């Protein structure tokens, strides 16, 4: 940079010289500063030093209605000092807090300017409109379905004096506004979009109004989803769909069970319900033209389906069985299905009864599923073993003399050993060994019982046998006997056991000549010879019946005679009269013929 030295002028002395000297010095300083200004850095104000007042937007204050609005500011150095210009009459701003409050007293439109000044003297301002008087609330844009009554729209107003009188222009055809209440109702009849202006006038003649668009059209159609099913404690997601109208759609619902909501953008009902209940929910889809369509759907929340585990099953081939499966929860009816059932068995899908006759020995893993009316399902698996039958040979009728030790070993075949034995109906004093099947003991009372013995194998398969059991004084069967007549028999001693003390014997039906010893039970004696058999004479043969006389045939024609005398027949010869022989009498029935004494 070129450097220029200041010039020095020598002026006259005294006062004039002094004036000129001061002027010269001032000009010199100004010239020097002008040269230095381009090289001096000036620091700009930082953003933190700027005070910014937030714009509250256009404000409305119904006359006669209390109003309050807090202004806010940022930047600078707090605290701020607040001031305002052109506030509606009745309102004021608090200098320390920035709160505008009060009650508007006159109707009008104002442009209000609010200023906030920080401690450094930096100020920020904001301006906004302020309307007072009768204020009609903007109801937002509206849409309605052609031919469907609208949900009545009550337009609100505040401020002014007394009651309002309502008027409206631009309403869709078929709609009207109630002059006393400001409620718009009716059924729109023509498609289209119009701008509605609703006006409320108070008793002092002050009016307020608002304008909004109203569209009428067919709107969207919601597909009926049928009953929506949810399960307590489990997340549910059900997509609802719509068509027609103008997209995008907005979904809403009322009356959904607690815990469930609908997503406004997608129409998905989701959530987790905690309580079993059935509700009738109102679902509304609103298209982009604000035209709503509402349907009613049933939403059922039920407890989960739970199939009762039947546990391991063991059954026998050839024996019919019937097993009822059970399920709880869900919504009836339940539908049943199964896989892996043993051959010969089937499942009734309506009742859950497995029935049939197992055809082959095998072990299967059976999987059973129950599905309720809401498509809730539950599945259980269990093992089903089919074995061959267990057979217990019958021991036949048993006898056990009282007071005499008794033992009998029963046996079994089939199934899977070892067996477990039980018995019912055993005589008093007898019992069966559960491991060996031995019935033993000493009968203590006389009687006849039907004993049932059951054997169970390791798989729970059973076999049974029943037989009679007599106790008391038991007489041994001596088998059938025979002996020649007239010959002494070999004495037969009949045996008995049981009872108390000695026996006294009696017998009925003994052959003639035989007797029983009352003390020993020995039968002895000689059967007498049998009497000779006399032959019976033959029965007389009854006489044969005579054959009836033959019927005469036609008479021959008389012979032709040359002379009547020669043709005269001679007289018939006469026979002496005789009576017919008497008929033989049949023998008398029921009485044997008499025989002469031998």
Which pLDDT tens digit goes with each residue over 425-440? 999 999 999 999 999 9
Q: What is the tens place of the pLDDT at every residue in 196-205?
A: 999 999 999 9
Residue 550 counted as domain residue: no
Last residue of a domain, one of 133, 159, 184: 133
Residue 392 counted as domain residue: no
Q: Are residues 208 and 278 in the same domain?
A: no
CA distance 313 to 366: 10
Last residue of a domain, one of 462, 497, 524: 524
Sign of CA dihedral 157, 159, 165, 171: negative
Residue 515 counted as domain residue: yes
pLDDT of residue 534 exceeding 70 = no
Sign of CA dihedral 40, 44, 46, 51: positive
Q: Are residues 466 and 488 in the same domain?
A: no
pLDDT of residue 262 exceeding 80 = yes
Q: Are residues 294 and 334 in the same domain?
A: no
> Average pLDDT of the chain?
86
Q: Are residues 317 and 343 in the same domain?
A: yes
Q: What is the pLDDT of residue 2?
A: 35
Q: Are residues 269 and 317 in the same domain?
A: no
CA distance 168 to 152: 15
At 3, the pLDDT band (50, 70, 90 cuts) reads very low
Residue 415 CA to chain centroid, in angstroms? 39
Residue 544 counted as domain residue: no
CA distance 481 to 479: 6
Q: Are residues 52 and 127 in the same domain?
A: yes
Number of separate domains in the chain: 7
Cα separation values, 214 from 157, 170, 175, 419, 521, Å? 19, 9, 11, 88, 124
Burial class (CB in 10 A: 0-12, 13-18, 19+), 213: middle
Query: Looking at residue 481, what DSSP letter applies?
Result: -
Residue 151 counted as domain residue: yes
Residue 587 counted as domain residue: no
Cα separation values, 328 from 129, 232, 480, 522, Å? 67, 14, 68, 75
Q: What is the tens place of the pLDDT at every residue in 350-366?
A: 999 999 999 999 999 99
Q: What is the tens place of the pLDDT at every residue in 91-125?
A: 999 999 999 999 999 999 999 999 999 999 999 99
Q: What is the pLDDT of residue 416?
A: 85
Last residue of a domain, one of 340, 355, 387: 387
559 or 221: whose pLDDT is higher?
221
Q: Are residues 202 and 171 in the same domain?
A: yes
CATH number for the domain that contains residue 363: 2.60.40.10
Residue 585 counted as domain residue: no
Beta-bridge partner residues of 469: 398, 449
Q: Are residues 208 and 266 in the same domain?
A: no
Query: Looking at residue 41, what DSSP letter applies?
Result: -
Residue 345 counted as domain residue: yes
Q: For residue 444, what are the domain limits?
A: 398-472
Q: Are residues 23 and 78 in the same domain?
A: no
- Mean pLDDT, to the nearest integer, of 116-137? 96
CA distance 356 to 346: 6
């Amino acid at each position: 940079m070129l450097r220029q030295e200041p010039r020095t002028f020598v002026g006259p002395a005294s006062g004039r010289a002094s004036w000129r000297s001061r002027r010269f010095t001032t000009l010199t300083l100004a010239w020097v500063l002008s040269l230095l200004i381009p090289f001096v850095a000036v620091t700009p104000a930082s953003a933190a030093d700027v005070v910014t007042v937030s714009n509250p937007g256009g404000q409305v204050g119904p006359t006669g209605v209390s109003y309050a609005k807090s202004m806010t500011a940022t930047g600078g150095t707090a605290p701020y000092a607040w001031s305002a210009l052109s506030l509606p009459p009745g309102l004021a701003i608090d200098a320390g807090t920035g709160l505008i409050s009060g009650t508007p007293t006159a109707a009008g439109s104002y442009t209000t300017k609010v200023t906030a000044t920080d401690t450094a003297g930096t100020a920020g301002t904001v301006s906004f409109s302020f309307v007072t008087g009768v204020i009609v609330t903007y109801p937002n844009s509206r849409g309605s379905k052609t031919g469907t009554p609208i949900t009545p729209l009550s337009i609100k107003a505040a401020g002014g004096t007394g009651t309002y009188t309502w008027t409206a222009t631009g309403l869709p055809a078929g709609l009207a506004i109630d002059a006393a209440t400001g409620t718009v109702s009716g059924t729109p009849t023509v498609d289209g979009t119009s701008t509605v202006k609703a006006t409320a006038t108070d008793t002092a003649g002050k009016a307020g109004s608002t304008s909004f668009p109203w569209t009428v059209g067919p709107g969207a159609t919601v597909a009926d989803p049928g009953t929506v099913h949810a399960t307590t404690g489990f997340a549910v997601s059900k997509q609802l769909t719509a068509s027609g109208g103008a997209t995008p759609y907005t979904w809403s619902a009322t009356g959904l069970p607690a815990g469930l909501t609908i997503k406004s953008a997608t129409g998905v009902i989701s959530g987790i319900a905690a309580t079993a209940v059935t509700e009738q929910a109102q679902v509304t889809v609103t298209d982009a033209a604000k035209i709503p369509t509402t349907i009613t759907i049933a939403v059922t929340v039920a407890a989960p389906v739970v199939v009762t585990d039947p546990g391991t099953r063991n059954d026998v081939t050839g024996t019919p069985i019937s097993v009822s499966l059970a399920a709880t929860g869900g919504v009836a009816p339940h539908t049943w299905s199964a896989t892996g059932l043993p051959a010969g068995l089937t499942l009734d899908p309506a009742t859950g009864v497995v029935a049939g006759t197992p055809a082959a020995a095998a072990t299967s893993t059976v999987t059973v599923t129950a599905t309720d009316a809401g498509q809730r399902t539950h599945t259980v698996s269990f093992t089903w073993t089919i074995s061959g039958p267990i057979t217990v040979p019958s021991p036949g009728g048993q006898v056990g003399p009282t007071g005499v030790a008794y033992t009998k070993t029963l046996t079994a075949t089939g199934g899977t050993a070892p067996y477990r034995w039980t018995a019912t109906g055993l005589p008093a004093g007898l019992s069966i060994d559960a491991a060996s099947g031995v019935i033993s003991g000493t009968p203590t009372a006389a009687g006849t019982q039907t004993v049932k013995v059951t054997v169970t194998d390791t798989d729970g398969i059973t076999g049974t046998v029943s037989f009679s059991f007599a106790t008391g004084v038991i007489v041994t069967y001596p088998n059938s006997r025979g002996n020649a007549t007239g010959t002494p028999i070999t004495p037969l001693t009949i045996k008995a056991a049981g009872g108390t003390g000695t026996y006294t014997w009696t017998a009925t039906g003994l052959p003639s000549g035989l007797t029983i010893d009352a003390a020993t039970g020995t039968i002895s004696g000689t059967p007498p010879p049998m009497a000779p058999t006399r032959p019976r004479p033959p029965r007389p043969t009854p006489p044969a019946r005579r054959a009836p006389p033959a019927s005469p045939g036609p008479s021959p024609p008389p012979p032709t005679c040359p002379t009547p005398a020669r043709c005269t027949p001679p007289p018939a010869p006469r026979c002496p009269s005789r009576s017919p022989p008497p008929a033989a009498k049949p023998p008398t029935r029921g009485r044997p013929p008499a025989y002469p004494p031998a």
